[in-house]
């Protein structure tokens, strides 16, 4: 009888210990599941923010809002770098080009706009082939194309008019020895948005060299 009480007592103590442990851990677990680990939060838009995108170098985050503006924020501290204005309806989607030079935006105002990131200049506005509005937009990995989704259930892929010619690593408009040299110096490097990564697959290798050689002399 005494032995049974002893076992029951040990079991009870273990139950209390495990219960206390669970009570101690659960709030932490729930907290971790309940909210992300915030670096910063920033207000400034005057409507729903429909889209955010990081620049390839990680320095900027762009946001597109129902207020018709796009804002560029410094990732390190959340400082507002620039507000891009021009859209006359909701901005549904924003995307950086792989080299970080361009930002594309799609809007309910039936336009697509291409902006220069360095100074916020509006480089191009498309009003054709935008249907009843543009909901989503993204560049191809090598930056030669951009794709977008329209409100009328249509997907479109178009050429980026500001893309470098394949193989024009230094962006001077001509594929020549200088580009090949840059490519060879960067051979083996990995990462997104490298100008030497001609085919945009994330690595500078034989395939990029071949594509450059294939386009050698173009634009010169
Ligand atoms: Ca070149
Ligand atoms: Ca490549």
pLDDT tens for 81-136 read 999 999 999 999 999 998 899 999 999 999 999 999 999 999 999 999 999 999 99
pTM for this prediction: 0.75
Q: Long-range contact list for 178-186, CB < 8 A, 24+ apart?
A: 179/212, 180/209, 180/212, 180/213, 180/216, 183/208, 183/209, 183/212, 184/209
Q: Which residues surround ligand 1, an ion (CB under 5 A)?
A: 168, 170, 172, 174, 179
Position 155 in a domain:
yes
Give the structural domain span for 10: 2-34
Please tell me the number of the ligand nearest to residue 199's CA: 2
| Pair 81, 142 in one domain | yes
Residue 94 sits in a domain whose CATH number is: 2.130.10.10
* Domain count for the chain: 3
| Pair 152, 170 in one domain | no
| Pair 106, 136 in one domain | yes
Position 40 in a domain:
no
Position 14 in a domain:
yes
Q: Is 183 exposed, middle or buried (0-12, 13-18, 19+ CB in 10 A)?
A: buried
| Pair 186, 151 in one domain | no
Position 43 in a domain:
no
Q: Is 128 exposed, middle or buried (0-12, 13-18, 19+ CB in 10 A)?
A: exposed
CA 215 / ligand 1 centre spacing (Å):
11
| Pair 140, 208 in one domain | no
Mean confidence (pLDDT) of the chain: 89
| Pair 128, 58 in one domain | yes
């Amino acid at each position: 009888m005494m032995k049974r009480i002893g076992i029951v007592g040990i079991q009870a103590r273990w139950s209390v210990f495990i219960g206390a442990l669970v009570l101690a851990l659960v709030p932490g677990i729930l907290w971790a599941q309940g909210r992300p680990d915030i670096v910063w939060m920033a207000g400034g838009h005057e409507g729903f923010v429909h889209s955010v995108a990081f620049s390839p170098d990680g320095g900027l985050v762009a946001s597109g809002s129902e207020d018709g503006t796009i804002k560029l924020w410094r990732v390190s501290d959340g400082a507002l770098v620039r507000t891009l204005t021009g859209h006359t309806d909701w901005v549904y989607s924003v995307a950086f080009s792989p080299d970080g030079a361009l930002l594309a935006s799609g809007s309910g105002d039936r336009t697509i706009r291409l902006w220069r990131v360095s100074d916020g200049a509006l480089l191009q506005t498309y009003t054709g082939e935008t249907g009843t509005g543009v909901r989503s937009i993204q560049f191809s990995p090598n930056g030669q194309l951009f794709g977008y989704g329209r409100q009328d259930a249509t997907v479109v892929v178009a050429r980026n008019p500001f893309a470098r010619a394949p193989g024009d690593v230094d962006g001077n408009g001509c594929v020549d020895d200088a580009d090949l040299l840059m490519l060879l110096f960067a051979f083996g490097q990995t990462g997104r948005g490298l100008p030497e990564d001609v085919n945009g697959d994330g690595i500078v290798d034989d395939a990029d060299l071949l594509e450059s050689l294939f386009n050698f002399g173009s634009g010169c």
